[in-house]
Every structure is written in C-alpha cells, then in structure tokens.
Amino acid sequence: MERTLKEIANKATIIDKDRRLSYAIELMGKNHIAKLPVTENGELIGIITERDIIKKIGSSRSLNFRTSSFHISSCMTPEPFFLGESGKILEALIAFKEHDFSGIPIIGKYIMIVTKMDILKHFDAPGYVSENLNTKFHVLNPNDRVIHARRLLLDNNLHALPVWDGEIIGIVTIQDLVFGMNEFREKTPGKYMEKRLKEFTVESIMAQDVKSARLEDSLNDVKKMLIDSNFSSMPVLNYEDHIVGIISKDEIVNAI
C-alpha cells in the first residue's frame, strides 16, 4: 500500500467539455472504458461516466432529443475529486470505500486515472465469495422494458442485472444501456420515441455470454474472471443454480 498512484495509474482518455455526448460514447466504446476526465483548455474540470450518460439520455425530459444534441458539460460531474501522482494507493482505496467512486483522476505530468479494476490487478483479494457477496439484488425478465432496467440500476447503484427466465439467459450492464439507448435515440424519429420506448425490451440489449460465480469460489478466482472478461460484476449461484447474490469489483476492493 506504500506504492504510489503513479505506479498503477493509466494515462486517461480525456474529453473537452464542449464535445458532443455522442462522441463520449464513441470514445468509451473504442477504448473499452467507462469514464472520461473532462477538460477545459487542458485543465481538469469534471468527469463523465456511463452512469452520468444513462441518467441524461434515459430521462423523460430529454425524450425527443438525440444524444448528439447534448454537450459533455450538460451531464458531467463538475469539480471531481482527484489525487496527485505521488499519493499512496491506500488514499485511493479509502476514497473508493468512503465515497463510492468508480474512478479517480490522478494529476501529474498529464492526467491519469485509477479505477477499482486497476486496484484488483495489483493486489490479492483474501476470502471467499460466500463471505463477501451482496445479497441485495434484482433480476430482469427478457420482456421487461429497458427503461425499467435503467431505473433499477440507477436507484440501487448496481453495475449489472441478471436476466432470468427459469435460468440465467443474459445480463444487462450500464454499458449495455448506454449503447442500447444511444442507438435507439439516434435511429428513432422523435415523434415515435415515446411509443417505441414502451416496446424497447431488455431482450434486445442484453449480453448472452454470462459469467457467474459460486459461493465456494475464492475472491482471487472471481477477481481474475472479472479482469479477464472486463466485467464489473457477476451473479452468484448456489448448488441448485439459483441466484443468491451479486459479487462485484466493489465487494472485492472492500475485501482488499
């Protein structure tokens, strides 16, 4: 924990506050990232995450607007918490736990970022899934509306929702919502938006390649699965293949 943040941070993909929101989504997809530090004249002034984006483009107040109609400044978090590159990793761990951040900008020669996944890559996680899983979870039906999935994820601060139809058949993540809602908005004429939104179901955006954990799995094994798959969380199954909880990067970082 005495190592500095500079040792584990990655150079950040940044975005100017005046760029279009659709460009942020493009950058996130291209670089497989979930957050972007926001700059003005090269200086850090905010951060924008997938969660920020889905709050904006899923809102009924912006129903008839395309994603490209909005600027980054309209939905970023201003004046973000940040740390210096000489700060200790322990400082980031404390900030992650106390403030529920998913990523922290690191200021040095250039803007870097440290995420919870970076922490997972560099440290062992003691314990087992059974001791650390989150037993407060929600599941979706494939015929549920996407707007229902959005509400569940935002209201409960979740990373993903399993889709259940007698067995796990898929999973919906914040990223799936962002890309799905963006495509829906860009392709649907404004006058049809409200009607078609009611017909826009989870089945059309869910990922079918679902990774799951078992109660007896070690956190280190789950950590490796999350890193290798670039997932933030996965459902936990019992001996009867029923979902009994969720294990995510949040619980593993807390264990570390």
Q: What is the mean pLDDT of residues 89-102?
A: 88
Domain boundary among 122, 138, 168: 122
Q: What is the mean pLDDT of residues 16-31?
A: 95
Percent of the chain's residues with pLDDT above 70:
97
Global pTM? 0.88
The pLDDT mean for the chain works out to: 91
User: Any idea what the CATH number is for the domain that residue 209 is in?
Assistant: 3.10.580.10
Domain boundary among 88, 122, 156: 122
Single-letter code of the amino acid located at 5:
L
Q: What pLDDT sits at residue 60?
A: 66
Q: What pLDDT sits at residue 101?
A: 85
What is the tens place of the pLDDT at every residue in 150-202? 999 999 989 899 999 999 999 999 999 999 989 988 887 767 777 788 889 99
Number of domains in the chain: 2
Specify whether 178 is located in the same domain as 200: yes
Specify whether 65 is located in the same domain as 181: no
Q: What pLDDT sits at residue 195?
A: 79
> Is residue 8's pLDDT more than 80?
yes
Domain that holds residue 38: 5-122
Q: What pLDDT sits at residue 63?
A: 65
∠ CA 199-195-19, nearest 5°, is 95
- 164 neighbors 139 (Cβ within 8 angstroms): yes
What is the tens place of the pLDDT at every residue in 223-245? 999 999 888 999 999 999 999 99
Domain boundary among 122, 155, 172: 122
Specify whether 185 is located in the same domain as 83: no
Specify whether 118 is located in the same domain as 22: yes
What is the tens place of the pLDDT at every residue in 39-49? 999 999 999 99
Output the 3-class SS for the chain.
CCCEHHHCCEECCCEECCCEHHHHHHHHHHHCCCEEEEEECCEEEEEEEHHHHHHHHCCHHHCCCCHHHCEHHHCCEECCCCEECCCEHHHHHHHHHHHCCCEEEEECCCEEEEEHHHHHHHCCCCCEHHHHCECCCCCECCCCEHHHHHHHHHHCCCCEEEEECCCEEEEEEHHHHHHHHHHHHHHCCHHHHHHHHCCCEHHHCCECCCCCEECCCEHHHHHHHHHHHCCCEEEEECCCCCEEEEEEHHHHHHHC
